[in-house]
Amino acid sequence: MKYIKFAAYLAVIIGFSIIQAGSFDDFFRAIHSNDASAVANLLKRGFDANARDANGQTALCLAVLEGSDQVIDTLLKHPQIDVDAHNNAGETALMLAALKGRFELTSRLIARGAAITQEGWNALHYAATGPEPKIVAMLLQRGAPINARSPNGTTALMMAARYGTEQSVTLLLEQNANATLRNDRGMNAADFARSGGRESLAKRLESRLP
């Protein structure tokens, strides 16, 4: 009798594991295809809104990367969603939205409670790297520290000088970003600009040096 009960219990556990495995695949497949209905159904069945896929992307981060806007809507309405959950690279949905130049989405994530900044790489670094200076301005207006350092000492101004728009560089300089700072490799913002083949911008940044 004990054996029969144990076997029945084991069958339930195995069956539950198979269902969960299937739900995992279905959930992230639905995010890729922007199938908000499927995501909503799985969440109603108890699937974790903050689950990570096999590559360490959170559901919300993946939806931002994929441009799955209907899924983003569904996730942001879920009471258990953690808007500040990090993927395996330490990135948040806000950082990725800023990098992609998604102004409205960035604003919406902030309204939903996303943290403006964090230790290490932060949303301002990502915004400065991206194509939309309005996001840089919004983050600064909301208190993002302009000279915050990444783990290797890089600032938002350095990232804008190498990868971002000149409008972002101008905005950061107007808000008193420090062009004299150097990262752990001894590079300042002018060096970053020059490494990206932006010689005129490098000279402009050098004019800010003492």
21-36 confidence digits (pLDDT tens): 459 999 999 999 999 9
* 139, 108 Cβ separation under 8 angstroms: no
Residue with tokens 């409205």: 104
Among 57, 82, 107, identify where a domain stops.
Answer: 82
What pLDDT is stored for residue 210 in this prediction? 85
**210 shares a domain with 128:** yes
209 and 170 co-located in one domain: yes
Model pLDDT for residues 141-185, shown as the tens digit of each residue? 999 999 999 999 999 999 999 999 999 999 999 999 999 999 999
* Same domain? 119 vs 42: no
Tell me: the pLDDT tens digits for 88-145? 999 999 999 999 999 999 999 999 999 999 999 999 999 999 999 999 999 999 999 9
Residue 144: which domain range? 91-210
Tokens 């990444």 -> residue: 150
Return the structure tokens found at 207: 């004019």
**What pLDDT is attached to residue 191?**
98
Number of domains the chain contains: 2
Q: Are 68 and 61 in contact (CB under 8 A)?
A: no
Give yes or no: residues 57 and 103 share one domain: no
- Whether the full predicted model's pTM is greater than 0.85, yes or no, is yes
Closest-CA residue to 101 (of 141, 128, 68): 128
pLDDT tens-digit readout, 25-67: 999 999 999 999 999 999 999 999 999 999 999 999 999 999 9
**42-54 residues labelled b (16+ CB within 10 A) or e (exposed):** bbeeebebebbbe
Asked if residue 16 has pLDDT above 50, the reply is no
DSSP 188: -
From the CB of residue 206, how many other CB atoms can be counted at a distance below 10 Å?
Answer: 15
Residues 105 and 42 both lie in one domain:
no
Asked if 95 and 78 sit in the same domain, the reply is no
Read off the CATH number of the domain in which 71 is found. 1.25.40.20
